[in-house]
Structure 1
Amino acid sequence: MSKIYLTTIIKADINTVFDLSRDIDLHQKSTFKTGEKAIAGKTSGLIELGETVTWRAKHLGFYQTHTSKIIEMEKPNKFTDVMLKGRFKSFKHQHIFKQEGKNTIMTDILEFESPFGIIGKLFNIFFLKNYMKNFLLERNKIIKNTAQR
């Protein structure tokens, strides 16, 4: 199991950052490099508790689909999504928000596991963990820039 822990400080109120983090349209803009597109479930606007979204994107040279469901939401402090269908053996992404003065501290905790036993574990160690971290960093940069306008 791989775990990525990221913290982003954003000069904006917690409600703004929380909503931008669950905005399907902004997510699609932040993932333009992979051509990520919401193709089923919630395909636009703000995703809510119990809703699903299916993404289609080109990662590592292959088109892939990934269906996630929001299983936990405490507005505006946190929400969690998990993979229902996709390439990972398991995938859980916790989004946590804390207001500190005029800043919001946005924390991502992403836990995932690749299939294919030892080959998948080696792929995680040598490539996938860094790939996923960079994917989140790009997404968080767009959220931050949008919130701070």
Structure 2
Amino acid sequence: MTFPNTTPDGHVEPVDVTKLKKAVSHSSVVVSVFAKTEDEWYNRMVPLNALSGELVGFGRAVCDGALTASIYDVMVIPSLQGRGIGRMILQRIIRLLTNKGIYDIAALCSDQEMDFFKACGFGDDMLGSTTMMYTRSGNDMVISAGRKLLMVPPLRKL
């Protein structure tokens, strides 16, 4: 899994922190993985948090609270990808949702991410559903941030 935009040292470039905070706060399930150092992520037995470690992985899902959920993000910093962190995040999200009785769980992913989700037990939707996106067009400027499209409001005329 990849971040939308990263700096040369592997950190995420924030796009709109206010919108990201709002998206996370409205998510039904949020799973974060912290580590003191990249090499210490797996050996550490004591849970870390934002005050005691650095964010190295993240995932979130949105659900209706009863029937269905959609996983929108599973991300791991590039230097730690391929070590099972993304799978651990995804398994935790699934466990939290199924503990709430939610078993209809979709994953929104790109073609590049599809193999990861298949390896974690996801398959084709039996209804053959296709995800479609609504985006406004016209004079609005749209910036691509990974799978997300961010609308840039027009400048005010003085």
TM-score of the superposed pair, with normalisation by structure 2 = 0.33
- Larger % of helix: which? 1
TM-score of the superposed pair, with normalisation by structure 1 = 0.34
Which has the larger Rg? Answer: 2
- Larger % of strand: which? 1
Higher relative contact order (CA 8 A, sep 6+): 1
